[in-house]
Amino acid sequence: MNMKKTMIPVLVAGFVIGLLAPVLSAAPQQAQQKQEKQDKPAATPAPPQRIIIPKEVKDVMLQNLAARQSREDIPFAIAKTLNLPARDGAYIYFFLKMKNSDLGFAANPQAPDKMRAVFDVFLQFYKIDGQPQPQLLREVYCPTTIDDAAATFDPNKEENLSVGYPLLPGTYLAALAVTSHDLKKIGLQYQEFVLPNPQTFTKELDTTPLVFVSDVQENKPVEVIPALHRNTFRYATWELTMNLDNSAKGGDEMETFFFIYGAQPNEQGKYNIECLYEVNKGQQPAIKFAPQAYISPFIDQSLPMKQTLITKTTDEKGVATEKQSVQDLPVGTYTFTVKITDKVSGRTCAKSVDFTVKEAPAK
């Protein structure tokens, strides 16, 4: 069965893993501070203490911290989290869902054919493993402006937004606030998460969460200052479009993206990884793909959601025949499974995730 496969080059993978040394220190924070300083008028004196999160927002975060109590002035949901590796730690991504009507869109005076939303996103990261109380580790500010065409603007459309940040391994609590630019409305959610240490996978294989993406663009500038993205997320030099609903139309391809922890290179520094992909409906097999080989633990694999059917018939003389036909995967809920073998170390693991074929292909 024909499959499109993107081999992430080892050179690029090494570059990604090497990013963490400067990033995990305080580079994003320092870059953000530098940008904020540059944005200030030259005549403005530096404040005695730099403020990343305004007091109005910080007070709400602190008041609701113990009970992890959300606030719905601006309603939003954390639809999914994702971690991807960097040396000695990982990036944590939050994928948010929000309606346009809650983002404060208004006519753009400078562009009459555009609608514009201007709002702010604030994050606090607390370290909670081994701590009697959450310990504030980092604060992040993401000023955000989104433009949309006035002619097609839909206030009821639900937007997919993402923000990511690198941290060292550990167990964390994140407070995420989405606020109007004047801070009169504050939406707040809390999320606990764990970031693994890539160096601890010495006797087993594991993976980052299996996710589906609908597009991968390479050779993008590395994001130094954290920013909120619409429909995409940024990882090193890649920009990926997330399939948050794990859904497809019949006949579509499903593209999975993940990283394998614990895979070992051989003496020549080369990886030899085999992945066997399967799709099942309940206990019944639906698709079984040919094994795929990789030279990097970064996996980006596109798989056609088409199944081969075998019809057996017997004629009046008792002669049996088989006929093969290929059809789009029917509407329904399925389980996608990958069975991974590291040919160098002999280690194996398997991971699964559910997805849905929502509608038949267009005729």
Banded pLDDT at 359 (limits 50, 70, 90): confident
Closest CA to 167 of 202, 130, 123: 123
Q: Report how far residue 236's alpha carbon sits from residue 287's, in angstroms, rounded to the nearest whole number.
A: 33
pLDDT, greater one: 35 or 342: 342
Query: Residue 361 has what pLDDT?
Result: 62
Query: Residue 30 has what pLDDT?
Result: 53
CA 176, 30, 120, 238 torsion-angle sign? negative
- Average pLDDT, stretch 103-112? 91
| pLDDT tens-digit series, residues 154-211 | 999 999 999 999 999 999 999 999 999 999 999 999 999 999 998 899 999 999 999 9
pLDDT at residue 21 is higher than 50? no
Neighbouring CB atoms inside 10 A of 178's CB total 27
Closest CA to 140 of 235, 252, 28: 28
Query: If DSSP codes are grouped into helix, strand and coil, which group holds residue 273?
Result: strand
Tokens of 255: 């593209």
Query: Residue 12 has what pLDDT?
Result: 41
Closest CA to 100 of 144, 163, 146, 141: 146
Report angle CA 274, 234, 128 to the nearest 5 degrees: 90
- Average pLDDT, stretch 120-133? 92
pLDDT at residue 215 is higher than 70? yes
Alpha helices in the chain (DSSP H): 10-18, 20-23, 27-39, 55-63
| pLDDT tens-digit series, residues 33-57 | 554 444 444 444 544 557 899 999 9
- Average pLDDT, stretch 65-93? 93
pLDDT at residue 22 is higher than 70? no
- What percent of the chain stands above pLDDT 70? 85
- Mean confidence (pLDDT) of the chain: 86
DSSP state of 210: P
SS3 content of the chain, % helix, strand, coil (to 5): 10, 50, 35
Q: Report how far residue 103's alpha carbon sits from residue 101's, in angstroms, rounded to the nearest whole number.
A: 6
Query: Residue 250 has what pLDDT?
Result: 79
Q: Report how far residue 34's alpha carbon sits from residue 32's, in angstroms, rounded to the nearest whole number.
A: 5
| pLDDT tens-digit series, residues 264-295 | 999 999 999 999 999 999 999 999 999 999 99
Q: Report how far residue 265's alpha carbon sits from residue 10's, in angstroms, rounded to the nearest whole number.
A: 11
Write out the residue range of the structural domain in which residue 267 sits: 4-40+47-359
| pLDDT tens-digit series, residues 230-250 | 999 999 899 999 999 999 887
Name the least confident of 20-34, 150-164, 258-272, 304-318.
Answer: 20-34
Banded pLDDT at 318 (limits 50, 70, 90): confident
Q: How far is CA 350 from the centre of its chain?
A: 20
Instruction: Give me the number of domains the chain comprises.
Output: 1
pLDDT, greater one: 22 or 209: 209
Cα 324 to Cα 92, 290, 307, 313, 331: the distances in Å are 45, 17, 10, 12, 21
Report angle CA 28, 234, 38 to the nearest 5 degrees: 35
Give me the half-sphere count of Cα atoms (radius 13 Å) on the Cβ side of residue 259: 20
Closest CA to 56 of 71, 68, 42, 66: 71
- What percent of the chain stands above pLDDT 90? 69
* Residue type, position 224, single letter: V
pLDDT, greater one: 22 or 81: 81
- Average pLDDT, stretch 86-90? 81
Give me the half-sphere count of Cα atoms (radius 13 Å) on the Cβ side of residue 38: 6
Query: Residue 198 has what pLDDT?
Result: 87
- Average pLDDT, stretch 313-331? 79
Q: Report how far residue 119's alpha carbon sits from residue 177's, in angstroms, rounded to the nearest whole number.
A: 11
Contact of 58 with 141, CB cutoff 8 Å: no
CB environment 117-134: b (16+ within 10 A), e (fewer): bbbbbbbbbbbbeeeeeb
Contact of 261 with 201, CB cutoff 8 Å: yes
Determine phi and psi for 316, rounding to 5 degrees.
-65, -15
Q: Report how far residue 203's alpha carbon sits from residue 225's, in angstroms, rounded to the nearest whole number.
A: 36
Query: If DSSP codes are grouped into helix, strand and coil, which group holds residue 6?
Result: strand
Tokens of 287: 């698709």
pLDDT, greater one: 20 or 112: 112
The predicted model scores a pTM of: 0.84
pLDDT at residue 315 is higher than 70? no
